[in-house]
Every structure is written in structure tokens, then in C-alpha cells.
Amino acid sequence: MSGMTPDISDFANKGNSIGHEELTFGKWLGNIWTAFSTCFKGLMITGKYIVAVKPVTIEYPEVREELPSNSRSRLFNDVDNCISCLQCAASCPVDCIYITATRRDKEAPKLKTDDGTPIKLDLKQYTIDTALCCYCGLCTTVCPTECLTHTVDYEFSQYTVSEMKYDYLDEDIRAWKHRVVK
């Protein structure tokens, strides 16, 4: 059994000799040189970023950047040009578009969208729950009159989830029209 027991005295002696490596004057100077040179290298990298590299961050919210015009951010429906075709709601993968429309009275004046498409239904409700929206853009792609578009708005956080549900017939939301990038 004693043959199977490892003799740790050798190992301990070796470890001991490594742990207490003799420090000569030359090694001492070498350590000092290594300490200074590695600090200097680190400071050179810091200095390069201070002097030569342009910052990639901005001082938000004092500074704001415009998103590219093809960004898929907050949705806007110009309801005056919506024909209530439901294609946007049908294409939405998360079913977050709610539309209610009724047939227009036959006697009512004829209405057309800006691109000349007849409006045969009266839009009664157009709501998007943007808390559910994943900004995939499918609804805007299928819209035949292109009234449903993404804006470049990215600051629309709310305190409650219910406030993320937008009623696009609301006058305040209609005023977002100027935010649409053509």
C-alpha cells in the first residue's frame, strides 16, 4: 500500500523553491522596468482615444440624433387615407391592430384617398397596441394606400402599458403626421 501513496515531499520542495525564487539585483531592476513600461503602454492607449479617436457616444438627452429615414420606429396611420381594407391587421404576426369599420351610407358624399382610391367604408376605430408590436413592418408593406408608415420617433416610453395603445382617430395622434418621413 505504501507504494501507492504519493510522496508529496518532493512536490512540496519543488513548490517551495518556485515560491521563493531568489531575487537578484538584476531581476529587481527588471521588475521595475516591466511595471513602468506596462503602465506607459496602457496610458498610450488611453491617450490615443482622448486625442485621436472620435467619440461614439452622445450626451443624450441634451444631444439627439436623427434616425435614418427608413427606420422602423413608431407607427403612424394617416386615417384620412385609410380605406379600412384590414390588410394590415391580417398581416400582423402578433395581432396588435384593431380596426372597426362600417359601410358608408349610399347617400353620403363620395370620398377618395389622396391617390384616388375610393373610400367605401367609414373607419370607426383604428388602434395599434404598440406594446405588442415587434416593428416588423409587414403592415406598412401591404397597405395599398401607403397611409400606414413608420416614423423616426423613438422616444415614446410610457408609465403604463395601456398608454402604449394608440387610437389613430384621436386628434392628438393625427398631429403626428408631420413626423412621417417621405
Question: Using CB under 6 A as the criterion, which residues of the chain lie in contact with ligand SF4 when the complex forms?
Answer: 77, 82-88, 91-94, 96-97, 99, 128, 133-139, 142-145, 147-148
Q: Concatenate the DSSP letters of all residues of 80-118 into one string.
A: GG-----HHHHH-TT--EEEEEEEPPTTSPP-B-TTS-B
Of 27 and 124, which CB lies nearer to ligand SF4 in the complex structure? 124
- Are 121 and 102 in contact by the 8 Å Cβ rule? The answer is yes
- Are 149 and 111 in contact by the 8 Å Cβ rule? The answer is no
CB of 122 to ligand SF4, least distance (A): 12
CB of 41 to ligand SF4, least distance (A): 49
CB of 128 to ligand SF4, least distance (A): 5
Of 35 and 136, which CB lies nearer to ligand SF4 in the complex structure? 136
Of 32 and 131, which CB lies nearer to ligand SF4 in the complex structure? 131
N residues, the chain: 182
- Are 75 and 133 in contact by the 8 Å Cβ rule? The answer is yes
Of 144 and 164, which CB lies nearer to ligand SF4 in the complex structure? 144
For the chain, the farthest-separated pair of C-alpha atoms sits apart, in whole angstroms, at: 110
CB of 167 to ligand SF4, least distance (A): 14
Of 37 and 125, which CB lies nearer to ligand SF4 in the complex structure? 125
Cα dist from 7 to 2, 3, 13, whole Å: 9, 9, 11
CB of 149 to ligand SF4, least distance (A): 9
